[in-house]
Amino acid sequence: MKKRFLALGMGALMLLPALCGVAACGGNKDSKTYNITVWVGEGTDTLTKQQIQRFNETNEDGVTFNASVRIVSESKAVGDASSKPQSCADIFCFAQDQLARAVYGKLLAPLNNGSVNAITSSCDERSVEGAKIGGTIRAFPLTYDNGYFMYYDKRVVKEEHIGSLEDILADIDAYKGEGGLPRNFSMNLTDDGGSWYSASFFYATGCESEWTTDDEGNFIDYSDTFKSENGLIALKGIQKVLKFSKYHASAEVSDFKAGIPSAVVVSGIWGYNAAKNALGDNLGIAPLPSFWVDANGNGQKDEGESYQLKTYLGSKFMGIKPQSDLYRVAYLQKLAQFLTNEQCQKERYEAVGWGPSNKAAAASASSPALNALKESATTPQGQYPTGWWAKLDVMVGNAKTSAGDDASLNALLTTYSNALNELKKS
């Protein structure tokens, strides 16, 4: 209780200047320089430094930032921050699937009204929805391109076959390269992080997994239909790929240049430049294909029913670490607004090809990779407990060695389904 009073007292002290009429985000001509650290994704560190420099030059408040910018992968930023919260950057970028974890770990605080208005007025509604936990916006949408599609080698996979998984696999199987060297089909289904890709099979068959969080980022409820007839079909589809003799568990576009090269790599927008360098004009980009499963399982094309694979589509966000100084909070949010505004997102798109979340910037952005993503069948990236990915990962991994009959696959689905309750409790 004593601490609570102390905290409230400190808060009141911090609010005092604001109550006296000194606006934090406008009109304050007191010059002050904040030392901050910023974590950004690969390839954007130099650009971010330039953008912060521009902010310092144009900011009318007189407040400037002396920023130390470091590259930390968006997929690992929240994990790193959780393990060493004190050393977490003041501003950090992270993938959408990490949002609930960041809120739960008290790595993100609610935004002020100015930031919320700026985000809702300028960003794509889907990315704004993705930024919410318990109905409250917690971070600044940085991109809206976090999905995956298919890079392929036109010499191996015929263009008319790219819509069907069976045709693609048949093309690859039939291909004999120089010296009889075959080609692989690369899709990460069983390696680390494979569940992000394997989920596309479940969404293709109409399965759903929706998790509800409270304001603190706790997962309080879920609705998961993976354990169903549709889930069984999805697992059969996955098995079809896993048991393909030229399947390679990877999402690296560098596979195009491997000893035994891949003809298809399922990856995201971040792999475009490397894929282009590897294949040049032979590079083809297409949305994920559909797959066939009949009543007996391993259906060939035109037997049974076709299911269109669906990629997740989500955002990357820019978050602000909780601060004890309210002014610092306000100015950091102002900087984050700047770094995610139309101009900065355009610059980011031009530099590294990231698809903007800002509506105005997105309207003018067009590239083969972005177009493939726009044409893809998608599922909005939701919030999932971190354990959910691991459970899905284990189920798909076990499907590889499973006999493949309905009973054994259903057993895997049951194990998965039973494990979900533990996640809700946590």
Partner 1 sequence: MSKRETMELAIGGEMLPMHPLLNFKYQGERYAAFTPADSADPSEEGEVALTHVTTKIESSNGSVDLSAIKSNDNLERKLLLILSTCIIYLVLALCISFTTLVFVLWPKFWWIGMMLIIIGVVALIMLFPLHIAYAQLRKQRRLQGLQKVTCYEVVPCEGNDPIFAEFEIRYQILEKLSKNQQLSMLEYQRLNFRQKFLYKLKMFFRGIPRWFARKFKRLGLRLKAFGISIWENIKDIGRTFKNGSWKTRVSYLFMGFGNLSHRQVLRGILFFLFEASFVVFMVLSGGHWLGKFGTLGTTAYETVYDPELGEATIRVDNSFKILLYGLLTIFFIIAFIYTWRLNVKQCRILDEITATGKRVKSSKEDIQSLADNEFHKTLLSLPVLGIVMFTVLPIIFMILVGFTNYDYHYDGYGNLFTWCGLDNFNTLFAFGSKLSLAFGEILAWTLIWAVVATFSNYFLGMFVAMMINKKGIKIKKFWRTILVMTIAIPQFISLLYVSNLFAENGIVNATLMRWGWIKNPIPFWGNGTLAKVMVLVINIWVGIPYLMLITTGILMNIPADLYESAQIDGANAFQQFCKITMPYMLFVTGPYLLTNFVSNINNFNVIYLLTQGGPRHFAWGEVGGYVAGDTTILITWLFGITTGSEASYKMASVIGTLIFLVVSIISLIVFTIMPSTRREEDYA
Interface residue list for partner 1 (CB under 8 A): 3-4, 6-8, 10-12, 14-15, 18, 23-25, 79, 82-83, 85-86, 101, 104-107, 109-115, 179-182, 184, 190-192, 245, 248, 255, 258-262, 322-327, 329-330, 333, 386-387, 389-391, 393-394, 397-398, 400-401, 426
- Nearest residue (CB) to partner 1, 274 versus 326: 326
Of 262 and 306, CB closest to partner 1: 262
Nearer to partner 1, 248 or 310 (CB): 248
Q: How far is the CB of 216 from partner 1 (least distance, A)?
A: 9
Q: Which is nearer to partner 1, 174 or 260 (CB)?
A: 260
* Cβ 163 to partner 1 shortest distance, Å: 26
Q: Which is nearer to partner 1, 131 or 361 (CB)?
A: 131
CB distance 316 to 143 below 8 Å: yes
Q: Which two tokens stand for residue 398?
A: 């076990």
Residue 62 has a CB neighbour count (10 Å cut-off) of: 12
What span, in angstroms and rounded, lies between the C-alpha atoms of 169 and 174?
9
Residue nearer to partner 1 on the CB measure, 361 or 412? 412
Residue-wise over 240-253: b if at least 16 C-beta within 10 A, else e?
Answer: bbbebebbbbbbbb
Residue 275 CB, nearest distance to partner 1 (Å)? 16
The least CB distance from residue 7 to partner 1, in Å, is 3
Our CB check for partner 1 shows the closer of 47 and 78 to be: 78
Q: How far is the CB of 107 from partner 1 (least distance, A)?
A: 7
Q: Which two tokens stand for residue 75?
A: 């997929």
- What radius of gyration do the chain's Cα atoms show? 24
Q: Minimum Å distance from CB 390 to partner 1?
A: 4
Task: Say how far apart CA 220 and CA 77 lie, in whole Å.
Answer: 24
Smallest gap from residue 301 Cβ to partner 1 (A): 24
Would you say 63 and 96 are in contact if contact means Cβ atoms under 8 Å apart? Answer: no
CB of 385 to partner 1, least distance (A): 9
Residues 6+ apart with CB under 8 A from 310: 200, 203, 204, 288, 376, 377, 378, 379
Is the distance from CB of 217 to CB of 423 less than 8 angstroms? no
Torsional sign, CA 345, 368, 351, 347: negative
Give the angle 256-257-262 at the CA atoms, nearest 5°: 35
Strands 305-308 and 290-293 turn out to be antiparallel
Which residue lies nearer to partner 1 by CB, 135 or 180? 180
